[in-house]
């Protein structure tokens, strides 16, 4: 079985990430969260499709959706 290279690799600390969602988040972040180094993205990794809220949908506060935090 062929092993696929990781979706993102830090050029400084060699940390790797494999999912497209993490690659999208790291694109937004712009640097390695571990060491602050430069990130290298695999060419075929595409960001996940963004979902948009329905027109006229009710705005709901996050705490009403997620519930009371655990202590």
Is the entire prediction scored with pTM above 0.75?
no
Angstrom distance (rounded) from CA 31 to CA 27? 8
Structure tokens at 50: 């963004």
Secondary structure class of 45 (helix, strand, coil): coil
44 CB neighbour count, 10 Å cutoff: 9
CA dihedral for 2, 15, 28, 66, sign (positive or negative) = positive
Average pLDDT of each block of 10 consecutive residues along the chain (71 residues)? 87 92 90 94 69 66 73 72
């Amino acid at each position: 079985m062929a092993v696929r290279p990781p979706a993102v690799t830090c050029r400084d600390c060699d940390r790797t990430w494999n999912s497209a969602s993490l690659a999208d988040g790291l694109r937004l972040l712009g640097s390695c969260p571990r060491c602050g180094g430069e990130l290298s993205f695999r060419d075929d990794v595409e960001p996940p499709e963004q979902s948009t809220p329905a027109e006229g949908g009710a705005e709901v506060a996050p705490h009403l959706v997620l519930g009371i935090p655990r202590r």
